[in-house]
Amino acid sequence: MQDHAKPLDSESNGEQNPPQRAHQGRKAVITRDDLIDAALKLIGPHRSISTLSLREVAREAGIAPNSFYRHFRDMDELAIALIDRAGRSLRKIIGEARNRASPERSVVRSSVEAFMEQLNGDERYLHILLREGTVGSDAFKQAVERELNFFEEELRVDLIRLAETNNTGIYEPALVAKAITRLVFAMGATAMDLPLEKRAEIQEQMTTMLRMIVVGTQTMAQSDTIRL
């Protein structure tokens, strides 16, 4: 539904040059983050960023549509900024989970639990990466791919650090990081469309698969004669 705002008309109320008033409900000052937050409120597990209109986001943010262009060229630029924020937030959360791992709770389990908590939680950052990586525009898919590359690089560094700390060795850490990241996000995309009671099963499967990858890379690091 489009907004139909009436133009100011000095003759309509008998005043000469009447003072302009802000549209009721609209904010006088707004930032890029306000617009990103507005878009975040409108999307969800079953709605892609690509389905949002500029008017929807402007209305949610409480500004006139033309004010949108003070901060973003178009909706694609806003969407990519939102994907970037989602990636940074998730990398921080999952990185902290890896650092909190203990002898009682492995790095794998701690990381998977943090990932699934984000999938089940109210924040929609993980939904953005999972959804836009599969159904978004080419620009959005490329933005998600960049975020996955960041995940892989940070995980690669952590895998090398953990292998040195535990003296286990690691075979092709960059490839291991890629295998882990792609597996987790692929299974996350599957879990996103399942009811909550089914997600626990996916979480256990994911944890077991990741342990297989970790054990495999440790074993291969110890012998170059292994053949599948």
Residues 163-207 pLDDT 10s: 898 888 999 999 999 999 999 999 998 898 888 888 999 999 999
- pLDDT value of position 125: 85
Asked if residue 50 is part of any domain, the answer here is no
Instruction: Say if CB 155 and CB 172 are below 8 A apart.
Output: no
- pLDDT value of position 8: 35
Asked if residue 199 is part of any domain, the answer here is yes
Instruction: Say if CB 81 and CB 72 are below 8 A apart.
Output: yes
Asked if residue 9 is part of any domain, the answer here is no
Q: Token pair for residue 77?
A: 């630029």
Indicate the pLDDT class of residue 95, thresholds 50, 70 and 90. confident
Asked if residue 77 is part of any domain, the answer here is no
For residue 72, the one-letter residue type is F
Query: DSSP characters for 175-220?
Result: HHHHHHHHHHHHHHHHHHTS-HHHHHHHHHHHHHHHHHHHHHHHHH
pLDDT tens digits for 12-47?
A: 344 444 444 444 455 657 889 999 999 998 887 677
Gap between the Cα atoms of 173 and 213, Å rounded: 11
All residues at 6 or more sequence positions from 228 whose CB lies less than 8 Å from its CB, including other chains:
none
Asked if residue 73 is part of any domain, the answer here is no
Q: Domain total for the chain? A: 1
The residue with greater pLDDT, 202 or 103, is: 202
Asked if residue 123 is part of any domain, the answer here is yes
Residue 130 domain boundaries: 83-222
What pTM does this model have? 0.77
| CATH assignment of the domain containing 113 | 1.10.357.10
Asked if residue 78 is part of any domain, the answer here is no
All residues at 6 or more sequence positions from 170 whose CB lies less than 8 Å from its CB, including other chains:
159, 160, 163, 176, 217, 218, 221
**Minimum mean pLDDT range among 100-104, 121-125, 159-163, 211-215:** 100-104
Asked if residue 148 is part of any domain, the answer here is yes
Query: Between vectors from CA 17 to CA 14 and to CA 21, what angle results, nearest 5°?
Result: 100
**Minimum mean pLDDT range among 24-38, 116-130, 131-145:** 24-38
Q: What is the dihedral of CA 213, 215, 221, 224, to 10 degrees?
A: -80
Identify the burial level of 29 via C-beta atoms within 10 angstroms of its C-beta, where 0-12 means exposed, 13-18 middle and 19 or more buried. Answer: exposed
Gap between the Cα atoms of 100 and 116, Å rounded: 16
* Backbone Cα Rg of the chain: 23
Gap between the Cα atoms of 146 and 84, Å rounded: 9
